[in-house]
Structure 1
Amino acid sequence: MQGVLQGFTIVLILIGLGLAVSVFLPRQREAIAKGLTPLIFYITNPALMFILLSGTDLRAVIGVFAPIALITAVLTGGLYALLARVIFKTPGSRLPAAAMSTSYVNAGNIGVPLALYAVGSTSPVVSVLIAQLLIIAPVYLCIFALTSRKNRESQVNQHLGMTILKSIANPVTIATFIGAVFSLLGWTLPEVLHSPIQMLGDASIPLLLMAFGMALYGQRPLSDKALRPEIYLATFFKVLFMPILAWVAAHLVFGLEGVELLGVVIMAALPTAQNVLLFSQQFKLNVSIPREVILTSTLLTIPVVLLATFLLG
């Protein structure tokens, strides 16, 4: 419990610092945000992903943790889509992004520091990153592309294949793939190259959390009353159903216990990743549900993770 509290305290301090920048430096806020976003996306986050994966025993992670992450995400998103379609008659233009918001977690921003400080191992978060970046995200992007084709006014239709390729082949995914290759083949970089890349990767977490805190400024949750039932259902699936399903898969199916089990549940309880919103916007899909679920799941993550830690001991 102490490790979880320490991890959350560190995370909240950095998020609060980003929020404070938006409040006390309103004139500089836009310039700082514009500078942080490309720096994180193109440099520090890819460096972090490479360092994490290249230094992890992927054979052990892929054998247990990655299948759990994949099964949990697929079942969560699929069951939500089925219920939303049956109960709320959610239109196809809104359903894929909403389903992704229930099953695609913020492993890069919040998962890494929580795994390090609360669990003491990066294996759970690396498994989620592998499942999301190399399997789940490409599948959702293909679904997004097919959905967007139904809208004749969408500009994505003109260059569908290129749009999918650009979405999948982003710097983070490429760095993840290269790090996985290094790990599987047992390669290592010379120290003169490894050290600066690691320094850039170490800077990614605080910058990510500060940028996330800045993005929270001025948001008003649940402003659209008509969509509240769908938002509540999606938030329930993300915040409660996904961690419970992860516990079932990890404990009852794969037999995990102790810290390993806690790590899997905490990763599943993470809030929705902001990438869901970015992907949805790129394919001209309705982003009403993802935008709300990102915020509500972020606010509810702390009590859920603390409860999971207390229950799992």
Structure 2
Amino acid sequence: MSTVLNVLLPIFGLILVGFVCRRTNRLGPTAASEMNRFVVWLGLPALLFSLTAKADWAHIWQPGFLLAFTGGMLAVFLVTLVYRWKTTGSLVDASIDGLSAGYANTGYIGIPLCVLVLGEDGMAPALIASLLVVCVLFGLALVCIEVGLQSRKGLGGAIAQVVMALLKNPLVVSPLLGAAWALGGVQLPAALDEFLRLLGAATVPCALVSLGLFLAQRQSGPSEGAWPLVALKLVLQPLVTWFIAFVLLDLPAFWAHAALLLSALPTGTGPFMLAEYYQRQAALVSRAILFSTLGSLLTLSLILLAISP
């Protein structure tokens, strides 16, 4: 139990610091947005570029892990999408709800958690999962939203819009550039390596404090239906991933544990940003993020106890 506390307390302690600082007005209403901009545009891209530029790609390429994590993620997204589409009649709202149920917070919580639990090698599965969440799940949700809005450009135009949006996303571009650098076989210059190290080192604390600032913001509007999304995220997704990783594929312990941990993460802020961008009701998404973050204290603790030697 002490191992679980040693892993989770620093992570959720930083989230709590951000939450308290916002609620006590030590940091202002724009602090979450500005700190998040730093993480998205500077800190995390630097970390992702550095990791992929120096990565052993033969070690990272793990089809079983890809199948296990993606299978759980897409299963929950599609189940939620179909159910909510039938009950609400809105493909746009159903897509955002599906994203809320399947969008794991791999960047802000997954990276520090995997490193603490699995060691420095834990950065590799966290990196892969982050790319899958951003490129696959987020892209699929964007296509569904654009189709639901009956874009004048049609499905082809919606897909083109998604591709362009992904190519402008620093969290997608930076690891692709890092991979290209690695393929070139050139070692990072010492000055550039140190620059990226310093910038990347600020990512985790800033990301977690930023998440706490975001969770402290009060959202208006109806929030009924948040708990079913939380249950899908924290219970169904890890169960599906566990079945694929441990039963169907019998993955090596390291990759199976990584897939399970990453699938059990709470909902990230991506669905909220998408709801805000498309001017949809964001209160439900905000509550799902808050409740899943709090609930993950219990579920992650149980998983850590189960996989600990």
TM bin, normalised by shorter chain, reads 0.7 to 0.9
SS in 2 for 1:302: helix
State yes or no: 1:292 paired with 2:279.
no
1:281-303 deviation digits (Å, cap 9, x = unpaired): 22344434422211111111110
Provide the aligned length of Structure 1 versus Structure 2.
301
- Which residues in structure 2 correspond to 1:6-155 (within 5 Å)? 6-26=6-26, 28-30=27-29, 32-63=31-62, 64-86=64-86, 88-120=87-119, 121-149=122-150
User: Contact 1:110 / 1:270 at 8 angstroms: preserved in 2?
Assistant: yes
Structure 1 Cα separation of the partners of residues 248 and 187 of structure 2: 35
C-alpha displacement at 1:219, in angstroms? 3.4
**CA–CA distance in 1 between the matches of 2:264 and 2:201?**
24
Q: Which moved more, 1:293-302 or 1:44-53?
A: 44-53
Asked if 1:182 is matched to 2:177, the reply is no
Query: How far is 1:52 from its partner?
Result: 2.8
CA RMSD of the aligned region, Å? 2.7
Letter of the 1:306 counterpart: S
How much has 1:159 moved relative to structure 2? 9.8
Rounded Cα–Cα distance in structure 2 between residues aligned with 1:19 and 1:7: 20
Task: Measure how far apart 1:113 and its partner are.
Answer: 0.7
Change (3 A) 1:276 1:181: farther
Q: Which residue of 1 aligns with 2:257?
A: 262
SS of the residue 1:255 aligns to: coil
Which sections of structure 2, spanning at least 5 residues, go unmatched?
none
* Percent identity (aligned): 19
Q: Does 1:210 align with 2:205?
A: no
| Cα separation, 1, equivalents of 2:160 and 2:255 | 40
Shift of 1:47: 0.8
Amino acid at match of 1:191: A
- Return 5+ residue gaps in structure 1 as ranges: 153-157
Deviation at 1:119, TM superposition (A): 2.2
Structure 1 runs of 4+ aligned residues shifted over 6 Å read: none
One-letter amino acid of the counterpart of residue 79, structure 1: V
CA-to-aligned-CA distance 1:143-173 (integer Å, 9 cap, x gap): 22222336x9xxxxx9995576235521111
TM-score by length of 2: 0.86
Is structure 2 residue 228 aligned with structure 1 residue 242? no
Q: Please give the alpha-carbon distance, in whole angstroms, between the structure 2 residues aligned to 1:117 and 1:135.
A: 26
Return closer, same or farther for 1:248/1:13 CA change in 2, 3 Å cut-off: same
8 Å contact from structure 1 (residues 45, 172) kept in 2: yes
CA separation in 2, counterparts of 1:163 and 1:67? 23
Give the match's secondary structure for 1:94. helix
SS state at 1:29 partner: coil
How far is the alpha carbon of 1:34 from its aligned partner? 4.7
Is 2:227 the counterpart of 1:232? yes
Structure-1 separation of matches of 2:4 and 2:186: 33
Picking from 281, 288, 292, the partner of 2:276 is 281
- State the Cα deviation string for residues 39-64 of structure 1 (Å, max 9, x = none): 22211121122123333333333323
CA contact (8 A) 1:272 1:294 kept: yes
**What's the CA shift string for 1:236-264, capped at 9, x where partnerless?**
11010001111111111221253432221
- From the superposition, tell whether residues 144 and 82 of structure 1 become closer, same or farther in structure 2 (CA, over 3 Å): closer
Question: Normalising to structure 1: TM-score of the pair?
Answer: 0.85
Once residues 213 and 41 of structure 1 are traced to their aligned partners in structure 2, the CA distance between those partners, rounded to angstroms, is 16
The whole-number CA distance in structure 2 between the counterparts of 1:116 and 1:217 is 26
| Deviation of the 1:2 alpha carbon | 4.4
Question: Given that residues 35 and 206 in structure 2 are in contact (C-alpha distance below 8 angstroms), is that contact kept between their aligned partners in structure 1?
Answer: yes
